[in-house]
Structure 1
Amino acid sequence: MTVSGKLEITPLPNKPLGASVTLPRGVTDPSKLSDEDFKTLQAALETYLVLVIPNQAELPPTSQYDLTVRFDPSCQGSYGHDEKLFHHKESVLAKDGKCIPDRTEVVMVGNGSFEAGHAPGMKAFELEHPSQSTFHKDVLTEEEKANGQTRFYRWHIDSALYGLSPPKVTTLLGIQVPKCDEKQKIIYEDNGEEFELVKGATAFASGATAFKLLSPEDKEKALNTTVVYAPHPYIFIGKTKATSDGLTIVSEGKEIGLDKLPPWEESKVKKLPMVWTNPTTGEHHLQVHGCCVYQLINNKTGEVTELEEARKEVHRLMRPAISPQHIYAHAWNKGDLAIFFNQGVWHSVTGEFQPHENRLMHQCNVASGYDPVTKV
């Protein structure tokens, strides 16, 4: 346990990553922490990768935004995605959230129907919980869902991956969370392992663990690989389907042609290191958005691995880190504020919800002013 003043950081027991936070007495808004306590909070985030502060259901969107950008003074001031591209009708993200009118960097995600007035200027709205049934190539059967099965929907980092740099931090706040002790399970199709989790949990995997699990040869390769992402990547994959573990896309030739995408510029195509360095621990993190990868470039030889083989390669490198013993699945309670180091973890939605099951969360991430780097 780390204490700065009366701020307490407590590692989650028997979990591979994550810690809980107790705010100092008299502090109810974490964006108002003293500089000393915030420094401790930031170091803890980059050490434990996911922090959870309970009892924050009344946290205003402005405070959530202020807290999020405090972690990265270089923030560009807008949501981590271009809003028009985020809601583009052909984007796989089109249904994933709605911006709060007076604080557009905060996005409402969840499931169900909600009345007008949730925020100033907010009309009645509907949200749809992302499901493997709409995104995976081979979906769960009705019998499998009835038996409590779910899937990792899409393992990812929060980032536009075009033009804008990946946010350093994402905050996710449970506003309306159905009290649910219902358990669901993920069955790994490649080896039959099972992972039990609470319905609707958010799953997290450590990029540092992913790197440590690589062979010496693969570590060397990863450290010398640049990942090229497709222009407007979420539109590029808009008609494709994902692998059953949510790590990448099944190559079937269904990608939207580069000449059919909205106008794009080569200078805005993201070419990022496969491995990013943690500024607090100095550890290497394997950080790849497997669904949006377009090419891999060997920095030593200049060799280019094209789309289908690039997907297979990142799947091979990422897969060990999502084994059950390496996953933290956060079971949500109303008022939980999860802060995660978006440049150090991958995360995924899980859970199968019915249309009448209402869940509302506020998500905030803001594009960084610079791309992550690797220090070899």
Structure 2
Amino acid sequence: MATFVVKPIVPDFVGEISDFPIHAIDEQLAADLRKAWTTYPVLRFRNVPMGDAEQVALTKALGPIFLTTNVQHGRREDSPEIFVIANKKNPDGSPMGDLGDGEVQWHTDHWWIEKPPSAALLRALEVPPTGGNTYWANMYSAYSALPESMKARLRGLYIHHQDVLDISGAPRCGKEMPTSEDFATWSGVDHPIVVRHPDSGKPCLYLGASRERQAIVGMKQDEANKLLEQLWRHATSPAHVWHQEWKPGDMMIWDNRCLLHRRDQFDPQSVRLMHRTTAGGERPVAAL
């Protein structure tokens, strides 16, 4: 029976798997992987012969394929499951992928939809000599470290995640700018601030993204702004963060339901080429 070993990097947060038997995936191996991923919401794979087909197969072991919707240049016609993240150009000069070389702010993927994805898998094909690192913030430990008074305050609170503007502040496809500056009136979805993870059963913060354009349901905007600022500052403090310095061939799996992530900028004269796949998830459920 095929097996693998997880080496802890950060207990209950980040683990590393080497020599994973990628060509021997069956129901038992998939179940073992999901169990390991529940313990370590960030998993790094090294020394694993991984191509697009293997990455797609590994994604399907974690859940149904989720096709990323906010794609401009990174869709692969021959493999629609793959989302290309790159600053590299095609031979005709057009962008090979999305997200360029700039900084990407803290976020949870597809936070503005009813059922955000569960898993993201990102594989490095080419990496710059410096920069382009990826950072994850652990929302389990962020919630656990809150004072009891704050935990009580968050009981029953929901963030209204508007779906009009993306993380850069640009309108999403087909969306028009509302006339009101009250974000609570914008179209979007409400998700609990504290959710219960469907696999681990543990509570964690769920903050989404675009902090400057969020509202809290039933709360005045000024009060909501102060509370959100406090939560974001706490959740992304160094005590809860780990970062990956990429090597070619590295692949990271992370749990979108209990983490935030972001990316460093890097020299636009260097190349960063990544292939990403995503697994579908469930609607976040309140833990409190």
TM over 0.5: yes
Separation in structure 1 between the aligned mates of residue 159 and residue 165 of structure 2, nearest angstrom? 13
Question: What is the CA RMSD across the aligned residues, in angstroms?
Answer: 3.0
Partner residue, 2:123: 173
Decide which of 177, 188, 195 is 1:269's aligned counterpart. 188
Map Cα deviations across residues 163-202 of structure 1 (whole Å, 9 max, x no partner).
x511010000101124x3x4xxxxxxxxxxxxxxxx2210
Give, in angstroms, the shift of residue 321 of structure 1. Answer: 2.9
**Secondary structure, counterpart of 1:270 in structure 2:** strand
Question: Conserved in 1, the CA contact under 8 Å of 2:193 and 2:206?
Answer: yes
Map Cα deviations across residues 89-143 of structure 1 (whole Å, 9 max, x no partner).
xxxxx6xx51111222321112232447xxxxxx8736553424xxxxxxxxxxx
Decide which of 42, 59, 63 is 2:54's aligned counterpart. 63
Question: Conserved in 2, the CA contact under 8 Å of 1:207 and 1:285?
Answer: yes
TM-score (norm 2): 0.83
Partner residue, 1:287: 206
Question: Conserved in 2, the CA contact under 8 Å of 1:105 and 1:366?
Answer: no
Q: Percent identity?
A: 20
Report how many aligned residue pairs link the two structures.
278
Separation in structure 1 between the aligned mates of residue 240 and residue 33 of structure 2, nearest angstrom? 23
Q: How does 1:1-376 map to 2 (within 5 A)?
A: 6-12=3-9, 17-24=13-20, 27-29=21-23, 32-56=24-48, 58-60=50-52, 62-72=53-63, 75=64, 77-81=65-69, 86-87=70-71, 98-115=74-91, 125=96, 129-132=100-103, 153-159=104-110, 161-162=112-113, 164-178=114-128, 180=129, 182=130, 199-234=131-166, 237-238=169-170, 257-258=177-178, 269-291=188-210, 293-297=213-217, 303-306=218-221, 309-354=223-268, 356-368=269-281, 370-376=282-288
Give, in angstroms, the shift of residue 282 of structure 1. Answer: 2.4
1:173 maps to a residue whose letter is: R
Separation in structure 1 between the aligned mates of residue 164 and residue 76 of structure 2, nearest angstrom? 24
Map Cα deviations across residues 6-47 of structure 1 (whole Å, 9 max, x no partner).
3111111x67820001345xx234xx5232222121122122
Instruction: Name structure 1 gaps, 5 residues minimum.
Output: 88-93, 117-122, 133-152, 183-198, 240-255, 261-265, 298-302
Shift in alpha-carbon separation, 1:282–1:127, aligned structure 2, 3 A: closer
**Secondary structure, counterpart of 2:120 in structure 1:** strand
1:79 maps to a residue whose letter is: L
Shift in alpha-carbon separation, 1:160–1:366, aligned structure 2, 3 A: farther
Partner residue, 2:183: none
2:207 maps to a residue whose letter is: V
**Secondary structure, counterpart of 2:89 in structure 1:** strand
Map Cα deviations across residues 219-247 of structure 1 (whole Å, 9 max, x no partner).
122231111111334189328xxxxxxxx
2:127 maps to a residue whose letter is: V
Instruction: Name structure 2 gaps, 5 residues minimum.
Output: 181-185
Question: Conserved in 2, the CA contact under 8 Å of 1:287 and 1:343?
Answer: yes
TM-score (norm 1): 0.65
**Secondary structure, counterpart of 2:285 in structure 1:** coil
